Amino acid sequence: MQKFPFSVKKRRQFESLWRRLSKQKILSVEDCERGRKVKIVDRNKFLDLTSASVFLLSSISSLKNDMSNLEKFVFLTWNGNVKNDIEFVLKMIPSEEEALYKRVEELFNSLLALSLAEDFCFHFLYPNTYIEELGGNSHELDIVGGYFKGKIPYCLLVEITSGKYLKRFSRDVEFFPESALLHFKKTVFKKWIIERKFEIQTKLAYITLFENFNKEKNELIKTVFEVDNRIKSFCLYPEEFANFSYQKLRTSIERFLKEIKSFVRQ
């Protein structure tokens, strides 16, 4: 059997998550010809959980990473089933991780990976992981997947930016602005390194959470998209988040998932 040209570090937290969601009959994971794929059993519940993770991801930076403030904010802002979904999401986040923002970010990446694996057979697909052949100190990838078409291996990269990054070596977690353009340059560089080193065609889905990434406004970005048609940008929630409603958020995420899954299947 044709071997994949690289391997990734398996993530125990991710496997625990999909097993938990399987046990609760929200989804199931099935074997396919050269890997596994996901079947979303309860689509409404899965969308609710994904919406809750996006809500948390967008809110934490303004709440200074404080769980008690976040719980008060959730209680005052959303109620009923939505509040229950957010509490359910918070319980799924392993408490041993260093920062709440990091945990929520990893959870969103995990739910997105599960959605991408629906009806598509991946040899492997992991969020928040590393390519082992590049060394344990290589840059963490938000999502990396490998799949075969016939005997030919292909790679999928998904990188997500919220426009912020953490100052990690501080007792008090701080947030600093990072432009989508800077993050995009670093991400494209990673894609091209993987393609050159492992001689594998690689798709890159570049996702901004709340900022439209307009390639027409920057010549460098425009050139990248012109010379590499295996790169596509997506915006998860293009409107001003302060004006959100739960239904608008959920509708936006449903639209976003359809668009990115269509790109993966091409």
Return left, alpha or beta for 128; rule: phi > 0 is left, psi -120 to 50 is alpha, else beta.
Answer: left
CA atoms within 13 A on the CB side of 246: 14
Return d(Cα 162, Cα 164) in angstroms, integer.
Answer: 5
Q: What is the pLDDT of residues 127-177, one digit of tens each?
A: 989 898 887 666 789 999 999 988 899 999 999 876 554 444 344 445 444
**Buried b or exposed e, range 10-19, using 16+ CB within 10 angstroms:** ebebbeebbe
- DSSP-based three-state secondary structure for 201: strand
Overall average pLDDT of the 71-84 stretch: 54
Binned at pLDDT 50, 70 and 90, residue 97 comes out as very low
Token digits for 117? 């694996």
Q: What is the pLDDT of residues 16-43, one digit of tens each?
A: 888 888 988 999 999 988 889 999 999 9
pLDDT at 223 > cutoff 80: yes
